[in-house]
Amino acid sequence: MVETTQFFTDKTLFMTGGTGFLGKVLLERILWQLPHIRRIFLLIRPHCAQDVEVAAAMRAERAIFSSPVFNRLRTHHGRRFEGLVHEKVKIVAGDVSCPDLGLPPGQIQALGSAVDVFINAAASVSFHERLDRAVKLYNLSPLNLLYFAKRFNHPTLLQATTAYVREP
């Protein structure tokens, strides 16, 4: 664990899939076990096209930070929990299934040049996903993130996914 902590010290992360089952747990573990990270940019797909930044922030609050997964951090930090989240986690409205992650050109350069480690945890837990959606999510989305990441500072790209086995 010491080597992992040293590697992530003062690093900036970019993470997808934070609203999902695995993503929430991974985000909590990062904040708990790696307190010396600089920042986490968290890509959130907004469900509203009006003000995408506000919509993404509201979705993050509802789907991620109000989750019981964060109770340990909430208890440990008390009233400072919200401050920790606002200091360490920056919400970015976008979509990993889109080229350039659906980000405007000015934001692409600013984000890309700041990020050291990209983590893709975007997934679906549906057993009956349509094939076109599954291909987009599991094949094209990681490729979009890879193409995005390759343009900047030779960062590290980590892929995390869930797997289900269904008995007949």
| CATH number (domain holding residue 34) | 3.40.50.720
pLDDT digit string, tens, across residues 95-109: 998 899 999 888 988
Other Cβ atoms closer than 10 A to 152: 17
Is 4 a member of any domain? no
Residue 113: the pLDDT is 83
Regions of the chain where pLDDT drops below 50: none
In a domain, 168, yes or no: no
**pLDDT confidence of residue 164:** 57
pTM over 0.85: yes
Structural domain of residue 21, as residue ranges? 10-159
The verdict on residue 29 lying in a domain is yes
Residue 102 covered by a domain: yes
